[in-house]
Amino acid sequence: MSKSRRKFFIDTDAGTDDAVALIMAMKHPGIDIVGISTSGGNVPLDCVVQNVLYIKELCGHGAPVYVGAAKPILRILDTADFIHGKDGLGDIGLDLTGRVPEEGDARDQLISTLHAHVGELELICLGPLTNLAQIEQREPGILSLAKRIYIMGGLVTLPGNVTPMSEFNIWADPEAAQIVLGAKAKFTMIGWDTTCASSDFTVEEIAAFRHIDTEIARFCADIQNVRINWMHEHKEETAVNLADPLAMAVALDPTLIDRKEYFTMTVRSGEHADPYRGFIDAIPSDDSSTVEFIHTVDRQRYVSLLKSSMTKEGIVL
């Protein structure tokens, strides 16, 4: 008898590395993407929605895309378009207009889908946690209906990428992160430190995606150019850190996990410019019902999964 397909609901602020992560899920034969919720984050919400719809088209995938939170719960939206491009997909001249999402609000859809698939739905969170926090506020306990919640965000080993203490997705909406991590649910977190340890690519490694010779592979390489140029100008090392694809890989294949640890986590708020805004107080725990934090993955197998999603065949199991 064939194994039943897993059900994913992906929450995204697409974003160049969200784009690659979405492709991985769309090109995996064992996953039903029952919904995609969007929020403002890496770029404004309108761009995020158009980007996800473009990626769906590129992959020939039918997942329904819903519009969610335009801004964090309490704060203004502070984007990262200097990394992702003004349009969020690297400003490579794509026509990112005119595509139409599903009717209905992403938060309503998340709630009804969680109720429809109690204990079965896996939530993959690739942006600020605003949508998830708002459904937990609206219906306390709703997140406990998920099978597991995978979060790209945070860190337990410094430094971060926005301040030395914090990572973008948690920093962008720390109040939302606290509501989500304070909820009763099963969490797996892939942090900025996890990304730096296992998902650092050189410019040459990114360029080599093009050898796969598909439209998707060329897209995955081309959209990184704004980030590569920014890194050249502002950092000594030009590494491309693909955070969201790593989180997606862990969700798609948890056997990739190499080293993990459990933590209880509390998120600090902080004023706008406080370096501790979005800092996570992480206390190691023996209790496997606390947050499962991934330190490292098997990089060779991860990269192979990533690249196979860009081939003509997609991921083959």
Q: How far is the CB of 262 from Ca ion (least distance, A)?
A: 24
Q: How far is the CB of 268 from ligand RIB (least distance, A)?
A: 17
Does 40 engage in binding with Ca ion (CB under 5 A)?
A: no
- Short-list 258, 297, 296, 9, CA closest to 149: 9
Q: Is 173 designated active site?
A: no
Residue listed under structure tokens 């491009």: 85
Residue nearest ligand RIB, Cβ-based: 168
Of residues 11, 13, 87, 253, which has the active-site annotation? 13
- Other Cβ atoms less than 10 A from the Cβ of 238: the count is 17
Residue numbers at the binding site for ligand RIB (CB under 6 A):
15, 17-18, 42, 126-127, 152, 161, 167-169, 192, 243-244
Does 153 engage in binding with Ca ion (CB under 5 A)?
A: no
Nearer to Ca ion, 113 or 195 (CB): 195
- Which residues, 129 to 148, sit near Ca ion by CB under 5 A? none
Nearer to Ca ion, 7 or 88 (CB): 88
Measured between its terminal Cα atoms, the distance across the chain in Å is: 16
- Short-list 68, 146, 74, 50, CA closest to 106: 68
DSSP 72: -
Distance of CA 42 to the CA centre of its chain: 11
Among 89, 124, 126, 146, binds Ca ion (CB under 5 A): 126
Question: Which spans in the chain are helix H?
Answer: 16-26, 45-59, 81-84, 106-116, 130-138, 168-172, 174-181, 192-198, 203-207, 215-222, 225-234, 243-252, 299-308
Residue nearest Ca ion, Cβ-based: 15
Does 80 engage in binding with Ca ion (CB under 5 A)?
A: no
Nearer to ligand RIB, 42 or 50 (CB): 42
- Short-list 127, 135, 211, CA closest to 173: 127
Interface with Ca ion by CB under 5 A: which range of 103-111, 221-229, 238-246, 294-302?
Answer: 238-246
Does 127 engage in binding with Ca ion (CB under 5 A)?
A: yes
The interface partner of residue 106, options being Ca ion, ligand RIB, none and the CB cut-off 5 to 8 Å by kind, is: none
Q: What are phi and psi of 233, to 5 degrees?
A: -75, -30
Question: Active-site residue numbers?
Answer: 13
Judged by the rule CB under 5 A, the positions of this chain that interact with Ca ion are: 13, 15, 18, 126-127, 244
